[in-house]
Amino acid sequence: MFRYPNGKPYRPKVEQKKKQPPSITYSNRGMSLEDDLNETNKYYLENQVAVIHKKPTPVQIVNVDYPRRSAAVIKEAYFKQSSTTVYNGIY
């Protein structure tokens, strides 16, 4: 029998029914890193350390759904070419 450092015996918890895992979403991965990079680049520009700009990713939009005029939803899109560096600049 295992015991905790205070001397009490370890009793494993009874396993209950497993809950369904929350649906996994992969959207916005890396956004916090990109926000940090943008803040850093802004600091560099203000303090004349470096000039770094984000390069837009070329995307070909194929299918767009217009439920309302003001709310377009992109349903299908593809990258025009393989991605290279996203940020370019000079130090």
Structure tokens at 19: 């809950």
- Give per-residue pLDDT as tens, 5-33: 777 888 877 666 667 777 888 777 888 88
Strand partners, 65: 73
- Give per-residue pLDDT as tens, 27-82: 778 888 888 988 999 999 999 999 999 888 888 889 998 888 788 888 899 888 77
- For 74, the enclosing helix (H) or strand (E) is strand 71-79
